[in-house]
Structures are given as C-alpha cells and as structure tokens.
Amino acid sequence: LYDRATIANELGAHAFVSIHANAHDDRTVEGIQVLYYPDDGSRGNYKFATYMMDALTKGLDAANKGIIQRPNLVVTRETKMPAVLLELGFLTNSKEENLLNTDSYRTLAAEAILDGLIKYFDKEILK
C-alpha cells in the first residue's frame, strides 16, 4: 500500500483513485461509499470525494451511503494529491454482488469514475 502512494507521489499524479467493493454484516446494506483522508482542505480530498460520489450515484443509479473520513487508509493518507477510495457496492448484498460481477456494471462504474474526474478537473483544477 505504501508503494502505491509512493509511486503516485513520485510520478506527480494530480489525483489518486483506489477502487474497491464493500462488505457489511447486514446483507441488505447497499450503495456507494467514498472514503477520504480528513486533511485541512489543502489537498482538497473532501471536495474531490464529493465529485466522485455525485458521479457514481448518478452513473450507477445507486444509493449514497456516505462520504466518510478514514484517517488510517494508507493510500489516501500518504498521497500528496487529492485521493479517494471508492466502494462501488457491497459484495455481501446479493443484488450488488450480481451487478459487480457483470461487465456492463463495471463499464458503467468506469464511465462514472471518468465523469467524476473530468468534472473535478474542469471545475477545480483547470479553472
């Protein structure tokens, strides 16, 4: 995990996105979560997270399960650029597990992530 952050930092990346599938004890829980490191606003992690959540919930027609501070995630804490960890659904929810196993859902997710990145860069970086 530290290597991922180091590589992004050394390459001078402008944003960092880590893509995951979630799990929960309650098998009825579903939706998208976006996790971020709670910085002081200098890196813009929360703002980046809001763009990504908006794009994912719209693009996947999914429930917003929250933009959540996670101070101990290495890949968001150790990167020097805006960084998020995206939870694209819950594998413990049978409906979302089935969706996550389809090429069409993963393509929609990739398109939504791209949309979030484009909107973030257009409005925040390339003003």
CA 41, CA 44: separation in Å to the nearest integer? Answer: 5
CA distance 80 to 23: 28
Cα 59 to Cα 78: distance, rounded to the nearest angstrom:
29
> How many other C-beta atoms lie within 10 A of the C-beta of residue 2?
9
Long-range contacts of 122-126 (CB under 8 A, 24+ apart): 123/51, 124/44, 124/47, 124/48, 124/51, 125/14
The backbone torsions φ and ψ at residue 24, rounded to the nearest 5 degrees and listed phi first, read -155, 150
Q: What are the start-end ranges of the E strands in the chain?
A: 16-22, 32-36, 64-69, 83-90
Say whether 48 sits in a helix, a strand or coil: helix
| Tens of each residue's pLDDT in the chain, 127 residues | 889 999 999 999 999 999 999 999 999 999 999 999 998 888 899 999 999 999 999 999 999 999 999 999 999 999 999 999 999 999 999 999 999 999 999 999 999 999 999 999 999 877 6
| pTM given for the model | 0.94
